[in-house]
Chains A and B, each alone.
Chain A
Amino acid sequence: MSRYFTEDHEWVDVDGDIGTVGISEYAQSQLGDIVFVDVPEEGKELTKGDEAAVVESVKAASDVYSPVSGTVIEGNPALADTPGLVNEEPESDGWFFKLTLSDPDELSGLMDEIAYAAFVEKL
């Protein structure tokens, strides 16, 4: 399984043609206390860069963009009642949604963990 990151601080784990999407540790630390997450519904067709989810901190609302194109299989049901999971476990249990990738070649345009760490370092 490989993990890729966007410059907008989403991550996607890819296992076969299934991708799991969330936001990075850096992103959650910048957002602060997360009080609401709106995840996409099963069956939603997403194009890379589409607004896929909304994350609301105490202070502000932010869009989460889909790092890849595909069809949503599942939104994380745990986030409805415990949005704070995104603060606690942003890169594991606090995932946002899973989708079936329609164009795995898009992954080549994303950063790997080392490149993303270097990207964040410069912010």
Chain B
Amino acid sequence: MSDTEIPDEIAPTEFPAQTLPLDGWHRAQGGRMVEFAGYHMPVQYEGIMAEHLWVRESAGLFDVSHMGQLVFRAEGGADVVAALEALLPADIAGLGENKQRYSLLLAENGGILDDLMVTHLPAASPFAVDEEAGEPAEPAGWSPLDASPTDPDAPTFYMVVNGATKIDDIAHLLEFLPDGIAINHLEEQALLALQGPKAVDALARLVPGVEAMVFMTAGAFDWNGVPLWISRSGYTGEDGFEISVPGEHVVALADALIAEPEVKPIGLGARDSLRLEAGLPLYGHDLDPDTTPVQADLGFALSKRRREAGDFMGAAPILAERAAGAASKRVGLLIAGRQPVREGATVVDDSGADIGRVTSGGFAPSVGAAIAMAYVPTELAAPGTTVTLSQRGKVHTATVTAMPFIPHRYVRAGGPK
């Protein structure tokens, strides 16, 4: 007798890579295209180092249209807040309109299925439903997964999830959200990130009013009649914005943005080195279904009220681990010498046995050194601890370092102007 073979779902990699609305634009700008998350994406234009440093001193435009944009709304009296709180450890009930929060999609065993941003949409947003028609007013290209009539008075939420995981995320949400919660996958919406200390100067010239927002807030704006949904957020550690725009208008918006003197297009290579310096974990590398928020040092994503209630998916194992202490922790590492130590390298003990793993690593242009993120035994997780790494048969020494490696420069409420 043999185990029954259940064929896996077709892996995304078996499909040819898809193109995004800015594909031709990237090529025209000199972007070097690679396959990423099932899409053709630019890894660099003039060079990763120059692009990285440009974002830290001026402003860079990133195409992140591969990411999944989802809208959640209730139908006929369902409670969308309770439904989302059942799956996310965030305080969704306490999330005011136009407020954005980082959160996690968690499995029952506490493993991280994805990390994401969730925003409470106001009544008037580009994703609002036209009450008369029962259809989205703007933009065109609405892609309903569930086309039932919705309750116009119930709160609605916008979520941005990772591109490589969006299909699995939607499957998970459809499985576990109760009846009466509609999910719309905004497949026709493009998403741009404009990041850097001068991003606000450039964007405010095109879209007046964005300068009034603070970090982790969002709002609806209009650009020459094109409805935009803009948040003051990003994943570089710098001030900046993420802009959801209908796909048919994204080329015009990208052209207008790079016509501003502060702005250059930036590829995925610099996006990775920027977020690494900012200490921000990358899903599929630093986070995965085998890691928990406690191990990943993302305790801030477990809101106090939700921890006390313990009523989100994965709460029991996560809260038990939080109380007992995790066996391993995600830490930052400063590598001795110039050679980068990258994902796949191991943390070893004195006898050479593997005791941890490097999940991201590379040369950090703004630090001027090789840095990494790794999971190490908790007793080695204190800043200043020396650890030994092994990569391709060569031993490296590293020092556990508090993250971020480069201070965040977010524009927060009540902060200096």
Quick check: B44 and A61 within 8 Å, CB to CB? no
A-B contact pairs, 12 of them (CB 8 A): A32-B48, A32-B49, A32-B269, A33-B47, A36-B340, A36-B363, A58-B48, A58-B49, A59-B43, A59-B269, A61-B392, A80-B338
B interface majority secondary structure:
mixed
Taking the closest CB of chain A, its distance from the CB of B44, in whole angstroms, is: 6
Judge whether A35 is part of the interface by a CB distance below 8 angstroms.
yes
Q: Taking beta carbons and an 8 Å cutoff, which residues of B are in contact with A?
A: 43-44, 47-50, 52, 269, 273, 338-340, 342, 362-363, 365, 370, 392
Judge whether A19 is part of the interface by a CB distance below 8 angstroms.
no
Quick check: B363 and A38 within 8 Å, CB to CB? no
Quick check: A56 and B339 within 8 Å, CB to CB? yes
CA distance A90 to B322 in the complex (A): 52
Contacts of A32 in B (CB 8 A): 44, 47-49, 269
Q: Mark A14-36, 1 if CB is under 8 A from B, else 0.
A: 00000000000000000011011
CA distance A38 to B370 in the complex (A): 15
Q: Which residue of B lies closest to A81 (CB)?
A: B338
Contacts of A58 in B (CB 8 A): 48-49, 52, 269, 273, 362-363, 365
Quick check: B338 and A36 within 8 Å, CB to CB? yes
Quick check: A33 and B340 within 8 Å, CB to CB? no
Contacts of A35 in B (CB 8 A): 338, 340, 363, 370
Contacts of B342 in A (CB 8 A): 60-61
Q: Taking beta carbons and an 8 Å cutoff, which residues of A are in contact with B?
A: 32-33, 35-36, 38, 54, 56-61, 80, 83
Taking the closest CB of chain A, its distance from the CB of B406, in whole angstroms, is: 15
Quick check: B339 and A38 within 8 Å, CB to CB? yes
Q: Which residue of B lies closest to A35 (CB)?
A: B363
Quick check: B48 and A33 within 8 Å, CB to CB? yes
CA distance A38 to B365 in the complex (A): 19
Taking the closest CB of chain A, its distance from the CB of B269, in whole angstroms, is: 5
Contacts of A57 in B (CB 8 A): 48
CA distance A54 to B340 in the complex (A): 11
Q: Which residue of B lies closest to A63 (CB)?
A: B392
| B49 contact from A33, A36, A38, A61, Cβ within 8 A | A33
If A35-B340, A36-B340 touch, whether A59 touches B49 (CB-CB below 8 Å) is no
Contacts of A38 in B (CB 8 A): 339
Contacts of B52 in A (CB 8 A): 58
Taking the closest CB of chain B, its distance from the CB of A34, in whole angstroms, is: 9
CA distance A56 to B47 in the complex (A): 14
If A35-B363, A36-B363 touch, whether A59 touches B339 (CB-CB below 8 Å) is no
Contacts of B339 in A (CB 8 A): 36, 38, 54, 56
If A56-B363, A58-B362 touch, whether A83 touches B338 (CB-CB below 8 Å) is yes
Quick check: A59 and B362 within 8 Å, CB to CB? yes
Residue with the greatest number of chain B CB neighbours at <10 A, chosen from A59, A80, A83: A59
Contacts of A60 in B (CB 8 A): 342
Taking the closest CB of chain B, its distance from the CB of A87, in whole angstroms, is: 9
Contacts of B273 in A (CB 8 A): 58
CA distance A97 to B269 in the complex (A): 29
CA distance A58 to B44 in the complex (A): 11
Taking the closest CB of chain B, its distance from the CB of A72, in whole angstroms, is: 18
Taking the closest CB of chain B, its distance from the CB of A90, in whole angstroms, is: 15
CA distance A35 to B47 in the complex (A): 13
Quick check: A56 and B48 within 8 Å, CB to CB? no
If A35-B363, A36-B363 touch, whether A61 touches B340 (CB-CB below 8 Å) is yes
Contacts of B363 in A (CB 8 A): 35-36, 56, 58
CA distance A61 to B52 in the complex (A): 19
CA distance A36 to B52 in the complex (A): 18
If A35-B363, A36-B363 touch, whether A59 touches B338 (CB-CB below 8 Å) is no
Contacts of B392 in A (CB 8 A): 61
Beyond A33-B50, A35-B363, list 16 extra A-B contacts (CB 8 Å). Answer: A32-B44, A32-B49, A32-B269, A35-B370, A36-B340, A38-B339, A54-B339, A57-B48, A58-B49, A58-B362, A58-B363, A58-B365, A59-B43, A59-B362, A60-B342, A61-B342
